[in-house]
Amino acid sequence: MPEDHFGERIADRYDESSADMFEPAVVDPVVDFLADLAGSGSALELGIGTGRIALPLARRGIRVHGIDLSEAMVARLRAKPGAEDIEATIGDFATTRVDATFSVAYLVFNTIHNLTTQDEQVACFQNVAHHLEPGGCFVIEVGVPQLQRLPPGETVRAFDVTETYLGFDEYDVASQGLISHHYRVADGRLELRSIPFRYVWPAELDLMARLAGMSLRERWSDWNREPFTSDSRKHVSVWEKPAG
């Protein structure tokens, strides 16, 4: 089982520290997009966390099942109104099987990067393909690797610097490894948290989808279906399992 980087301390303040991601202006387009794809079927969220997307999607009448490694994150989800309509399974979303099939599976907020090897990312696509109904879709929201912003020879790039918070990404381009270092001043104390990721390119994800028997159906730069271009900082991609 991969290491759980979302223990009690992180789960306790996840909603507050990601408050901007809970804004209706951010959540509503995601839910619209996923509800369209789900149609009259049901949805599987990989890395359901505290239910930022799953809860509003379930309120649209869509049956949602989630998988997450973190007991602490899922406990926060279960404490929220509406959680009784959502099934959550504790496990690694690259390998955990649930006893149901889905018309859409989704993995948002860069969470594919939490799988730190190519093998695990490939396994994740295969696990999703196993759970999708024919014609079902897999949706990923993830940043485009920001290597153009890393000066030649450098390995560390600051992504946020304020009086109370410093954030640095440390790259290992040989392995597509990335460690995000977060230094936060809270209650007069300095807290450090470092999380390992594996960044992944859009074309590499397309190959992973192909290995799992799926093909690219749509790629946008955001949930409002703005075009994906060379300048896009992130993408929302949809792969489809053959209908036949």
Ligand X SMILES: C[S@@+](CC[C@H](N)C(=O)[O-])C[C@H]1O[C@@H](n2cnc3c(N)ncnc32)[C@H](O)[C@@H]1O
Q: Which residues bind ligand X (CB under 6 A)?
A: 2, 6, 47-49, 52-53, 67-70, 73, 92-94, 108-109, 111, 114-115
What is the smallest separation between the CB atom of 157 and ligand X, expressed in angstroms?
Answer: 20
Give CA–CA dist 108/135, Å, rounded: 20
**Which token pair is 62?**
């869509």
Nearest-angstrom CA–CA distance, 181 and 149: 17
Residues 6+ apart with CB under 8 A from 137: 37, 103, 104, 105, 217, 238, 239, 240, 241
Q: How far is the CB of 163 from ligand X (least distance, A)?
A: 25
Cβ-closest position to ligand X? 49
Q: Which C-beta is closer to ligand X: that of 1 or that of 243?
A: 1
Q: Which two tokens stand for residue 6?
A: 């979302």
Q: Which is nearer to ligand X, 106 or 231 (CB)?
A: 106
Contacts of 83 (CB under 8 A, 6+ apart): 51, 55, 77
Amino acid at 244: G
Give min distance, CB of 82 to ligand X, in A.
15
Q: Do residues 224 and 31 lie in contact, with contact meaning Cβ atoms separated by under 8 Å?
A: no
The H or E element that residue 150 is part of is none
Instruction: Give the residue with the Cβ less far from ligand X, 2 or 41.
Output: 2
Closest CB to ligand X among 110 and 221? 110
- Minimum distance, C-beta of residue 22 to ligand X, in the bound complex (Å): 8
CB of 152 to ligand X, least distance (A): 30
CB of 135 or CB of 159, closer to ligand X: 159
Tell me how far, at minimum, the Cβ of 35 lies from ligand X, in Å: 16
- Structural element, H or E, at residue 136: strand 132-143
The residues, any chain, with a CB within 8 Å of residue 39's CB and separated by 6 or more, are: 103
| CB nearer to ligand X: pick between 16 and 163 | 16
CA distance 240 to 8: 36
